[in-house]
Structure 1
Amino acid sequence: MHRLWDKLKTYLQNLNLFPSMESVTDAHQFRNEIISTRLFLVLFILSLAILLLYTSVVKITKTVHVPVPSYEEYARLNSSYSQTLSCPCQNISIDYRDILHVNYTLHQFCTSFFLSDEWFEFLSPTVIVGSIDLFAYDFRNTLPSALQAIKSFCNLIDQTMSDSLNRFYSNQFVTASVILYDVFQYQVQALIDQFRLSIINGFWSSLTMVRETTQGNALLSNFLIGYSIYIDRFTNSLVISLSRFDNRCICSTSSTCVRQSSIYIYPVSMPLFTVPNFYIGCYVIESLLQSTLQCFYDQNCIDTVISYVTYSPPITVTALNSSLPSSYSVNTTFNDILRNLMIEQWNSFVKHED
């Protein structure tokens, strides 16, 4: 082994890959050839090392075509090749109705007994004793109109939602490639949130315009609470409308004037029972927006109101269920309920793999 090592060492020391064509007699030239050989070998080995390192680091892209993959297979491939995976769609657009469904649940008041024909008949003037002599602010006098307004809102919102959903479903979801479920769910939820916001803003803008038009034109309510009509005693033909409410607020300058709604003894205007957080004002809608539905959740309050509606057959009325899951509290104003379209819950079903 020692002799073999010596021979190998001598061979490497005298290795000459660039010998002269003629016999070497010049020691300087021979040394240059040895140095050139060694320099060549070093550069050659270094070049090989660089080439091997480059080929080991650089990724080679190989295109693999998978015909009609399942979603599970697509998700598996995407987890490993998210940067290079491409899965184009045959149809780049699809109707919303084919990929999602939106439904909603209205406030329980909309389906309660308080909006039924039987309840309205119970509160009719022919049933309430002495209704022609009821004080103008009497709760028995104004309640049917307030409930009729709520019923109209329930029907209007339900119809608005139905028409808006039909238009919403006719829109198309456009994508050129397959989308992962999480991303798809996020995009669809953003569409639903935008739809909800547009419906709420559109409904509230229309209601605001109606309210401002009513106030601006000083239209009269059916109870003539905000305005009084007089006939000019000099001409007996000129009708005069005067704004009134109380000393602190008049309907000609503010449509939001309200006072507590109560049941009174006529004609002394003494309150027998005050309805909690329910108001009467210049207009039914304006006073309703500032009121709450607290009394309708309280069985004692309902029984008390019924007790003052005499000369009528007894009926059993159950209060609203305050224990049901709700987005609103008992003390939530009707204004806040209406700002959310009286909707308790939005539910959406998304079909991704279809």
Structure 2
Amino acid sequence: MMNMKTFLTWIYNFIWNYNLFTLEEDDYDDTNADPVLFLRKQKYKTRLYITLFTVFLYILFYGSWIKVESETIIISNVTSNIVDELFSEYGQTVSCPCSTNTILYQHFLSNNVTMHPVCSSDFIRKEWIEGLYFSNASQYGIWDFRRVAYSQFELLSRLCLISQKMASQIETDVDNTELVNINLLSSKQIQLEINNTIEFRKNNALGQMISFLNYWHTTIDRTFLVSALGTNWMLRTSFVNNTPNEIFGLGTPYLDINAEQFRQCGNAKVINPAILPSLSIDLSQLTSFWKPDFTSNITIVKGFFVTCTSLDALFESTMDCLYEFECVQLLIDYFPKLNQVFIIST
């Protein structure tokens, strides 16, 4: 027991007094310092040196011990399930010694682009739009859908065409995008990367479309472009002594049904439902060009509106009429040319 205690005491004293930086006895005279303090500093340096050296050896040993050795495994008839199993077991440490590290999306991606039902329907066809045309459309009241139907559907057709071209361009860009990776990716990771690529393309296209429509809308408002149908501005001539003096423009007045007063384009924008009068009323019998006779038999065209410009009206439209048989039949009744192209049967 005494020998063990003596041995432990010796170990303790050895560690406590161990000094790697011991100087010769004569060297202490050259330091001009207290030998006791100087010796204490040497011991502190020794302990710090040994500690750092031990940590370094541990890191070196641990790094060598955990070094991953690559292993080549040949797997035939690789399927997506096998890939998912390998990824689940080994993660991204699995790599494939392929001859190429890139592949186009079009080699493994199938696109299915779905347009809005209206943009895929007969309602944007040339025959339908031409069937809505009236050479005397400007003679109808500004609230009459026959005045603006042609321009609204023509504009709708052009916007659908732009959308189709943008969708086709997005599809082409996605197909030509390269997937670059040398490590194994799970099907979920590949799907996530594809979805991010598609979402980026869609957001970019949406931003371009919104910028284009805002520019178009601002150009119409700021430059006071006059619609040929007089839906936003009317040209008038002043006379002096029965002689034309000047031509000036007036904002087209629209009845604000809620406020029961007229508001002019340029000063305000009023959105009203598009209306069709009774077929029994002749054009010459219309009592008001600006205000419909609500006491007579009138029909509201569901989901369509009239306002200063066809663009503004189309922005507000939900086009509910095009989803109902009775409403589509109503349009065919009011636009005789449609009977030459479209036949609707129950």
- TM bucket (normalised to shorter chain) is 0.5 to 0.7
**2:261 is aligned with 1:252:** no
Residues 246-281 of structure 1: CA deviation (Å, up to 9, x unaligned): 345432144x43222112344213352222232111
User: Secondary structure of 2:128's match?
Assistant: helix
Structure 2: gaps (5+ residues): 8-64, 255-260
Structure 1 runs, 4 residues or longer, greater than 6 Å off? none
For residue 92 of structure 1, report the CA deviation from its aligned partner. Answer: 2.9
TM-score w.r.t. the length of structure 1 is 0.63
| Greater RCO structure (CA 8 Å; 6+ sep) | 1
Matches within 5 A, 1:1-354: 62-67=69-74, 71-72=78-79, 74-82=83-91, 84-87=93-96, 89-125=98-134, 133-234=139-240, 236=244, 238-246=246-254, 247=261, 249-254=263-268, 256-264=269-277, 265=281, 266=283, 267-269=286-288, 270=293, 272-309=298-335, 317-318=343-344
Contact kept in structure 1, 2:102 and 2:181, CA below 8 Å: yes
For residue 148 of structure 1, report the CA deviation from its aligned partner. Answer: 1.0
Residue 93 and residue 131 in structure 1: after superposition, are their counterparts in 2 closer, same or farther (change >3 A)? closer
Residues 18-74 of structure 1: CA deviation (Å, up to 9, x unaligned): xxxxxxxxxxxxx979xx9xxxxxxxxxxxxxxxxxxxxx87955322257654555
User: Secondary structure of 1:102's match?
Assistant: coil
TM-score w.r.t. the length of structure 2 is 0.64
Residue 163 and residue 252 in structure 1: after superposition, are their counterparts in 2 closer, same or farther (change >3 A)? same
Contact kept in structure 2, 1:88 and 1:178, CA below 8 Å: no
Contact kept in structure 1, 2:138 and 2:230, CA below 8 Å: no
Residue 250 and residue 98 in structure 1: after superposition, are their counterparts in 2 closer, same or farther (change >3 A)? farther
Percent identity over paired residues: 20
Residues 283-326 of structure 1: CA deviation (Å, up to 9, x unaligned): 1010111122111112222223333345985775449xxxxxxx
Aligned residues: CA RMSD: 3.5
| Count, aligned residues | 264
Residues 315-341 of structure 1: CA deviation (Å, up to 9, x unaligned): 75449xxxxxxxxxxxxxxxxxxxxxx
Q: Tell me, in whole angstroms, the C-alpha distance in 1 between the residues paired with 2:137 and 2:85.
A: 75
Q: Tell me, in whole angstroms, the C-alpha distance in 1 between the residues paired with 2:201 and 2:250.
A: 44
Contact kept in structure 2, 1:279 and 1:290, CA below 8 Å: yes
For residue 198 of structure 1, report the CA deviation from its aligned partner. Answer: 1.5
Query: Relative to structure 2, which stretch is displaced further, 260-269 or 192-201?
Result: 260-269
